[in-house]
Structure 1
Amino acid sequence: MENPMQHNQSKLFINNMMESAIRIGLLFILVVWTFDIIKPFVIPVLWGAIIAVALMPMTQKLERALKGRRGLAATILAFAGITLLIAPFWIVTSSIFEGISHSIEVLQSGEVDIPGPTQKIADIPLIGDKLFEAWALFANNLEKAVMHFLPQIKSAVSAAAGMLGSSLGTLVMFIISLAIAGGFMAHAEKSAAAVNTVAVKIAGTHGEEWTTLTAATIRSVLLGVVGVAFIQAILIGSALFTFSIPAAGLFTFIVFILGIAQLPPLLVVLPLIFYVFSTHDSTPATIFTVWVLVAGVSDSVLKPMLMGRGVDVPMPVILIGAIGGMITAGIIGLFFGAVVLAIWYELFMTWLKTEEQQNANAEQANEAEDKLVSLPVED
């Protein structure tokens, strides 16, 4: 028969367990509701934090130039970033709309004169013959060519429209993120103190070191990935505009995106080289080829110079984290992947140092014990 004391303890345990389960369930529901409420703001806030960390050194320099006015410095940088976002987008969209408008006007006038392909096009390996036939069809019988390639044309137009709409949404998101970054930069000390407090609560004594490592890694990725992609896009874009390549703004933007995605810009450059050789003389075409090829491989020189600066983590670790993070979580994964791998690298190195320190302490203890044993015993 059950003891009354045991019965009371069992009843108390069940009551406590049920009460704890109810509290945990209500807390879980509250967390889920809270996440649903703040979900639309998570990505802009994360991007705002990343941008603020990356631009903080520039903000501090501008603050000193403005005699300590941190808010004004942060506002100027935020507006400058918004301008730098809107200007290229406006150039690219204007270039696209001008091309579409010109094409519509030419089609409506009926005076379509497409130059036929040269033998150089047919000599291109693998795709030369098919490209020559398609180009010749458009040059000789445009209406038949349009009807023949109508499904592909519809797919291309629909993909371009979807890309344009997605780009517009991304632009708006980054404008909001820059405004948030301006707020973070204006109150950098309070934001950093709050982050350090949370990091110490989560990771203990190493939390503050990891927040410093996170900031340095974000700046390293921004310089080594986004910065190099921007430089490459400028170098290649200047060649495209110099040689009056159609839709030069759009191709420059694609080169920039490929650079961020760690894909070679030669994917865009090589078809343009064939186009220039088919439409220009040999000398300017050769100059264009050398220009864009040198710009296309410039990342092999720029990345070792820019990536990993200010961080004790090796460049391959940061680069692998950035690429893997981008494959997993998109563009924002560039930064989170690099940060996660950098922290794991630091944990691994700390573990190795701890093992070495323990071995060194053991050796010192053994040496001290041997010395004590070897001392003569006094009578």
Structure 2
Amino acid sequence: MRTKTQWILPVLFATALALLLQHFLGSIAWAGLLAVITWPLHQRMLRRGWPPLASAAFMLILLIVSFVGPSVLLFHTLSSELASLQRLLISFNQTGVPVPAWLTGLPLVAEPAVTWWLEHLAVPGGLNALVRTTLGDFMPHLTDTARVWGSTILANALYLFLTLLTLFVLYLHGAAVMHYIDGAGQRLAPVQYAKLRRVLPLSVRGTALGLGSIAILEGIVLGVAYWIAGAPAPVLLGVITGYLALIPGGAPLSFTMVSLLLFGQGNSAEALGLFTWGAVELFLVDKFIRPKLIGKRVNLPFLAVLFGLLGGVSTLGVIGLFVGPLMMAILFGWLRDSTPAAPLVLTPVALEPLNDPQGIR
């Protein structure tokens, strides 16, 4: 009875604490995940004689540069591409946009589509008038969206600051934090906590290695494919693809949209080739490379990794990419530990185990 009642107060307190910190649990979780992923590098620097404060500051700067660097490249390339796009739109507005050849070949809708194009886009100044009319219709919605996005950006900036601050404190006092967590876990559930303590670092680091390496690989490979196919701004599209590849379904969305862009420009062969190559590359990555990189470190089968990733991201968002494989690793760890060391051997007649009692566990 004492074993059951001793859980009541900790569970009630944990529930109340979760309700109190519900808006900041994401920041705490991200800080913990980043600390677990980068902890070996931090420990290596400490063993080489770095002061804890210097090591924590360096790790924080390294993480910021790792995330900000590609973003700066993305925005720089995006600004150049937007400037080129602006010059192109000004030219089209002055001369009119000619009717593309592929539009005349569309079945059923070719004639009304060409007529609309000639009335609105082929005439000088038609593009400017169309943009003004469209923006006028959507201006109230754009204003509301901008207001929501503004508050969302401010909230996310606060969460990012809290994440970095928590991560810095974990670098400085991670050993003391783990001492208290280990003590609480051993008092409440020593066996289960020992399994979790063993599986969690392997699962989180394996997932980070798999997601990061696959995102970089897909960004480079598909970026080269965009360049070969003649897509505009292949570097920019490759960086966007790399970011989207962190999320299941992001990479196929990226190369599908680029394929549609090429098809809209009249490059049907290049569009078909890019889509085919993207589908083959995605199949190889998602079915073989990604599960091997993630499941290899935690000894998980292919389907467990796949459903852990998909279920985690569909339920919890990006952070579910780490939580899903972790829960699968815990599940399979419990299943392996609860499996009898020697299975029962049944006779075909009496359906009884063998006489050796030592073989039954």
| Fold conserved between structures, TM > 0.5 | yes
- Supply the AA of the counterpart residue of 1:209: K
- Shift in Å, 1:317: 1.2
Query: One-letter code of the match for 1:310?
Result: R
Instruction: Note the alpha carbon deviations across 1:220-265, whole angstroms, 9 max, x for none.
Output: 221223442343234434655785725964x456534542331052
Amino acid at match of 2:329: A
What's the counterpart of residue 54 of structure 1? 37
Of the candidates 53, 62, 74, which is equivalent to residue 80 of structure 1?
Answer: 62
Match status 1:208 vs 2:194: yes
Deviation at 1:340, TM superposition (A): 1.8
Deviation at 1:294, TM superposition (A): 6.4
| Partners of 1:132 and 1:72 in 2: CA distance | 65
Report what 2:301 is aligned to. Answer: 314
Residue of structure 1 in register with 2:340 after alignment: 353
Q: Is the 8 A contact 2:263 2:271 kept in 1?
A: yes
- Choose between structure 1 and 2 for higher RCO, CA contacts under 8 A separated by at least 6 residues: 1
Question: Where do 1:228-243 residues align within 5 Å?
Answer: 228-237=214-223
Q: Which 10-residue stretch deviates more, 35-44 or 315-324?
A: 35-44
Q: Which amino acid aligns with 1:350?
A: D
- Choose the corresponding residue for 1:303, options 268, 285, 290: 290
Unaligned residue ranges in structure 1 (runs of 5+): 1-23, 368-379
For the residue of structure 1 that corresponds to 2:296, the secondary structure is coil
**What runs of 5+ residues in structure 2 fail to find an aligned partner?**
1-7, 347-351
Question: d(CA) in 2 for partners of 1:60 and 1:49?
Answer: 16
What aligned pairs does 1:215-234 form with structure 2 within 5 A after superposition? Answer: 215-234=201-220
TM-score (norm 2): 0.70
Verify the 8 A CA contact 1:264 1:296 in the aligned structure 2: no
Within the alignment, does 1:335 sit opposite 2:335 as a pair? no
Structure 1 stretch 43-52 or stretch 234-243: which is displaced more? 234-243
Larger mean CA deviation between 321-330 and 90-99 belongs to: 90-99
* Mapped partners of 2:270, 2:210: distance in 1: 32
Q: Displacement of 1:216 after TM fit?
A: 0.9
CA RMSD after TM alignment? 4.8
Cα distance change, pair 255–138 in 1 and its aligned pair in 2 (3 A): farther
Q: TM-score, normalised by structure 1?
A: 0.67
> Which residue of the partner structure matches residue 357 of structure 2?
365
Matched, 1:118 2:100: yes
Displacement of 1:130 in angstroms is: 9.1
| CA contact 2:93–2:128 (8 Å) conserved in 1 | no
Change (3 A) 1:262 1:152: farther
State the distance in 2 between where 1:157 and 1:127 align.
34
Question: Secondary structure of 1:309's partner?
Answer: helix
CA distance in 2, matches of 1:235, 1:118: 30
The 5-angstrom pairing of residues 15-54 of structure 1 reads: 34-35=17-18, 37-54=20-37
Cα deviation 1:333-354 (Å, max 9, x = unaligned): 2222222222122222222236
Q: Which has more radius of gyration? A: 1
User: Structure 1 residues 127 and 189 mapped into 2: Cα distance closer, same or farther (>3 Å)?
Assistant: farther
Q: 1:278 to 1:324 in 2, by over 3 A?
A: closer
Specify whether residues 199 and 109 from structure 1 end up closer, same or farther in structure 2 by C-alpha distance, changes over 3 A only: same
Q: Aligned in 2, Cα 1:163/1:134: closer, same or farther, shift over 3 Å?
A: farther
Q: Which amino acid aligns with 2:130?
A: A
Instruction: Say if 2:96 and 2:122, in contact at 8 Å, map to a contact too.
Output: yes
Contact 1:99 1:247 in 2 (8 A): no
Q: What amino acid is aligned across from residue 204 of structure 2 in structure 1?
A: I
Residue 55 of structure 1 aligns with an amino acid whose one-letter code is T
Q: CA deviation at 1:47?
A: 0.6
Q: Structure 1 counterpart of 2:61, which letter? A: F
Q: Distance in 2 between matches of 1:124 and 1:267?
A: 24
SS of residue paired to 2:38: helix
48-57 vs 288-297, which deviates more?
288-297
Q: How many residues align?
A: 341
- Any conservation in 1 of the 2:312–2:323 contact (CA below 8 Å)? yes
